[in-house]
Structure 1
Amino acid sequence: MPITFSRLVPSALALALTLGACSSVSERPAATVNGDTITSEALEAELLAIRGNERYRQGVEQSLAQQGLQVSVRGEGEGSFDSAFVARLLSLNVYYQLLEQQMAERGLQITSEDLEAIRPQAINAVGGEEVFAAFPVAFQDQLVRRQALTLKLRGAVAGDLDPGMARQFYDQNPDEFTGVCVSHIFASKQQRGPDDARSRIDDLAGQLAAGADFTALATEQSDDATAAAQGGSLGCGGRGRFIPEFEQAAFAIPVGQVSEPVESSVGFHLILVTERRTLPFEEVQGQVEQALQRRQIEEFGAFVDDLTCTAEVEVNPRYGDWRDGCDDPAQVGQIEPPEGPATPSSVPAQGGSSQGSG
């Protein structure tokens, strides 16, 4: 799976925001991006800030695990960091250096008003006020700036989302906001077991075919007690409200026709669509806004991926090798860590002695 800009940034914890600004040029920078340096000192300062914030560190590792990545912040040795995590963090530094360069090229600036407005989002992104306050003040400021940088450049590249865009998109794409009003008769796998549930729904389907009344059968025989009390009715809703297998069938069958037995993860259903209509804008406004935001994020992510392909990036071998991914999308914009599980720190570990800088 490609490691793109969006994949490198876990949304729940905003790992991409844990990037320090580049300080003065050191003797051996961690990386050089189009001639601008990311110092090893700045990278190590970020690593220490993450390691020193226990709740945040745990959250980062959990977020990475949810992406299928078994990556730890700490290395096996005292005062060391996991090489895969260091490579990932440095990759993000490269991305954000590219964004800083784009800001300068476009003549864009982050104002004090931008920082003030975005600060609550930055706090929320790392897990709340208590987690945020556990970082050094300078690092807090970096987190806020990185959040503001991303949003400002994203707006410049993919366009800002204004309040009228949601309504315009809704009016131009009515078919995307069709809803269905549905009823069902349900046989539960949990209550009956898969085989008995299947036999049960087949029997009920046979009764309907023989002329039984759907509403009466749903009221008396369905395993969904809540819907049964309403004659089997589940109400009306758009895409995303129902479980996938149910939704696919509900949007496919004609109004007034009962479906064949539909198997879902929870059981078997006989579905009756009683109405199909375009949902009111007020009912789907949040859904429309989320769709527009996803498109904006995807467009911006593709833009940043293109930047990494054309950028001149050199990485200190201590941290790994840069893979631009121009010829292999699966490798776009990432640093492949060196062999071995740990990158030693040049500063003392908490409660430990210093390690060589390598």
Structure 2
Amino acid sequence: MKQSKAWMGVSLVLFVLLAGVSVYAFTKGGGEGKDVVVATVNGTDIGKNKLYDEMILNGGSRVLDNLINEELVKQEADKAGITVTDADLDAEIASFKKQFSSDEEFQMMLMQYGMTQDDLKKQMPMQVRLKKLLESKTDVTDEEIQKYYDENKEAMSTPEQVKASHILVATKEESEAILTQLKAGADFAQLAKEKSTDTGSKDKGGDLDYFPRGAMVKEFEDAAFALNVGEMSGVVQSEHGFHIIKVTDKKAAATPTLDEKKADIKETLVSQEIQELAGPWMEEIKGKSKINNTLQTS
């Protein structure tokens, strides 16, 4: 469910994001008058006007359509007395982030589109206005919520997980020497920072965070899941080298109840209905509006 929700949210947002990025590229350093050199190739200048003309030919019409849509949504929101506050934008960001399995996945999405969270926030007002305009037109029933829960219960469940730290070294002799130090009272996190060859975890004291079965190589997984919280393994060999593992926490497998997930499910279904309503609604508004689009092809 996490993945489908995330991409549903992405599809809603990227329409605005890509328009914002393109508009920024079109207007950066804008203004009438003298052409501005944006690149030089072996002494030959490429001017902003040529860049602008080329961008108009390659997607300019779509960007202008997006700007028109954004203005129409803003005008309809103004007529309805709808405002967008900073709290609205923060709530929308928080809702959007929930659709990703982790903050790292969310940050990767932003990196993919060359954006920061502040950039994303600046592009959110249109989505918030559209949601406020159309939310009252949605009609999500308890039966639909129940059906969604039944169909996605397994995906909403979380498996048994272990939180563990480890120290990874290349040889059995090294690991045995470290194990001796640990049994004598040495600090696990400190030794991980000093000795571990796992660059992804050593600076965090060897912390690997929570992971389910199937996420690690079998030898490591079997050892970690066999330990109780607070226990430390002996030397564990895997294809990566020699590990010493310490389990710091465990989470039992869990399936959320309908009551626990009802609000999230309703939010998902409302967003889906808004997606379905947005196209026809926008066409209706366009049909009632006087729009002069000079880039529109005849």
Short-chain TM bin: 0.3 to 0.5
Higher relative contact order (CA 8 A, sep 6+): 1
TM-score (norm 1): 0.33
Q: TM-score, normalised by structure 2?
A: 0.39
